[in-house]
Amino acid sequence: MAFPNTRVKVNVVSKPKERSFLELKRIITLIVGIALMAGVYFILPANQTDSARVMLAFLVLSVFYWTFEPIPIGLTAVILLVLMLVFHVVTTDVVYSGFASPAVFLIIGGMMLAKGVNDTTLTKRIAYLFLSKWGGTAKGLLASILIIPQIQSFFIPAAAVRATLMLPIATMSLDTIGEKAKGNLEKMILLAVAFGGTVSGTAVMTAAIGNILTVELLKEFVGIKITYIQWFTYTFPIWLILIPVVWFTLLKRFPLTEQEKHFPHVKEELEHKLEELGKLNIQEKKCLAILLMIVALWFTESLHGLHPSVPALIGVVLMALPGIGCTKWDNLVKINFDTVMLMGVTLSLGYAFNKSGAAKLVGDSLSADWILYFFHSPVVAVIAVLLITHILHLAVANVSTAVVTLIPIFIGLSTKAGADPVLICLTASIACLHGYILVVEATPNIIVHSSGRIKQKEFLIPGLLLTFLMSAVVLLTAVTWWNWIGLL
């Protein structure tokens, strides 16, 4: 009896110690962030406007806190909002303007739509349908895990939600496979959930926050509006090529024995699960009809002129209406408010970065002839932007922060060099989205890593390979497709 009591005593002592250490670590990180903010303010030339220096200091603080997360991202967002208001870097209207952006309501609508879809069995049905057909082999299972989120991206505008929906389906498949899934197969399939979720945000403008931020910042800074169909037109070759590239890379990186490549019992199990679901029920039919209507409105934006947020909100209303909808309003409003705060504040940061003069200050600092030289040639500019963005993204893990930091700078540089800001910003946005190397670079990576079944080291080599291959695909698309349609 003494041994169990001793063990309990050790656990009780160790947990407070662990909590104290983590608390101390968070406090130190908070202090370091404040020191960095102060350092940036005092290092910047005194002949610059005070508002520009303060705004740059706040931007550094936001990058640091959102990267290391000593406090929740939503709390960091509110702190930055308060700082901008208290120090009057720009007018109150500008500080709050991020929350008035239709992009915020697109994110809200997107998250509510995802909740509505998840309240039906439609997503499970799509997953079981693919896996019951191709889930009996390693190649087929991998392809299914990669393709399903690409379909979801048209009606679930959040990579985190897509990855969250895919992870249990992937782990269920691996658990059904049994002993064969304890090595390379498990790593390959789990990385497919992460990387497939990331790739799924490429071509659909509403499928990634970074895309939406880029579009909004281009509209705010240079008055260029990119529609849903335009974004799709620019990026769909990259998206289509990257799906088989990821599939092939993971197969080669995690070789399997002949015995590990076939597991027909998984196909049978998923066929059984699909049979259990039966025919499409009335809730699924309603949900599917609403989703198809939303996607149709997104694709025809150039005809009716409605911002993508409007069809999303229409879909939310229809999903909640009695007799028409497929879920209850009480379920739809249970969304992650941290994401809403993050979106609103990052947009406000971008607007304040421009209005305060901070963007001009950074642009002037980087306007050396040798830097502007890279932007004179469109092809060289694409290579330079890809390289700069990938390097910065390793340091600034949060995609929203990376986008809101880089896009205003690249807009300024492209304007001074006479380059097309759409070309430059589109390239930067795509590079920000595709974070494969570190767990913290993309939300799908974080979600998969949180399962406890895969480690950071498993991301490293395939992540490096895919970062290089993704850059090559973007460059190839630039010199061919973008050149043909007049973007390059």
Average pLDDT over residues 458-472: 94
Same domain, 149 and 68: no
Task: Please say which residue of 305, 332, 359 terminates a domain.
Answer: 332
Count the alpha carbons within 13 Å of 24 in the hemisphere toward its beta carbon: 6
- On whether residue 448 sits in a domain, the answer given is no
Bigger pLDDT: 76 vs 368: 76
- Residues 247, 211, single domain; the answer is yes
Task: Answer yes or no: is 248 within a domain.
Answer: yes
Residue 333: phi and psi, rounded to 5, are -85, 0
Residue 398 lies in a domain: no
Specify if 345 maps to a domain.
no
Residue 14: the pLDDT is 52
What is the C-alpha separation between 442 and 444, in angstroms, rounded?
A: 6
197-225 burial: b if 16+ Cβ within 10 Å, else e: bbbbbbbbbbbbbbbbbbbbbbebbeeee
Q: Which of 350, 378, 364 is nearest to 412 (CA)?
A: 364
Residue 312 near residue 157 (C-beta atoms within 8 A) = yes
Residues 184 and 283 in one domain: yes
Of the residues 58, 89, 120, the one at which a domain ends:
89
Of 383, 373, 371, 431, nearest to 407 by C-alpha is: 431
Residue 366 within a domain: no
Mean pLDDT, range 270-293, rounded to an integer: 90
Q: Is residue 229 part of a domain?
A: yes
User: Which secondary-structure segment (H or E) carries 6?
Assistant: helix 2-43
Q: How many distinct structural domains can be found in the chain?
A: 2
- Position 6 pLDDT exceeds 50: no
Tokens of 117: 């879809």
**Model confidence at 352: pLDDT above 80:** yes
Res 481: pLDDT: 96
Residue 388 domain flag: no
**Candidate ranges 74-78, 227-231, 398-402; pick with highest mean pLDDT:** 227-231
Shared domain check, 290 and 223: yes
**Same-domain pairing of 50 and 127:** no
pLDDT band at 335 (very low <50, low <70, confident <90, very high): confident
Query: What does the pLDDT look like over 300-328, one tens digit per residue?
Result: 988 898 888 899 899 999 999 998 989 99
Q: Are residues 273 and 157 in the same domain?
A: yes
Same domain flag for 205 and 300: yes
Give the residue from 31, 65, 89 where a domain finishes: 89
Do residues 181 and 266 share a domain?
Answer: yes
Please give the share of the chain, as a percent, with pLDDT higher than 70. 95
Residue-range definition of the domain harbouring residue 71: 19-89
pLDDT at 313 (0 to 100): 93
Residues 55 and 157 in one domain: no
Neighbour-count burial for 72-95, b at 16+ CB within 10 Å, e otherwise: ebbebbebbbebbeeeebbeeebb
Would the pLDDT of 476 be above 90? yes
Task: Tell me the average pLDDT of the chain.
Answer: 86
Question: Mean per-residue pLDDT for 130-155?
Answer: 90
Per-residue model confidence (pLDDT) at position 354? 79
On whether both 27 and 82 belong to a single domain, the answer is yes
* String of DSSP letters for 96-139: HHHHHSHHHHHHHHHHHHHHHHHTSSHHHHHHHHHHHHHTTBHH
Q: How confident is the model at residue 450 (pLDDT cuts 50, 70, 90)?
A: confident
- Could you tell me if 246 and 199 are in contact, meaning their C-beta atoms sit under 8 angstroms apart? yes
Q: Are residues 52 and 154 in the same domain?
A: no
Which pLDDT score is estimated for 396? 67
Same domain, 83 and 163: no
Does the residue 114 lie in any domain? Answer: yes
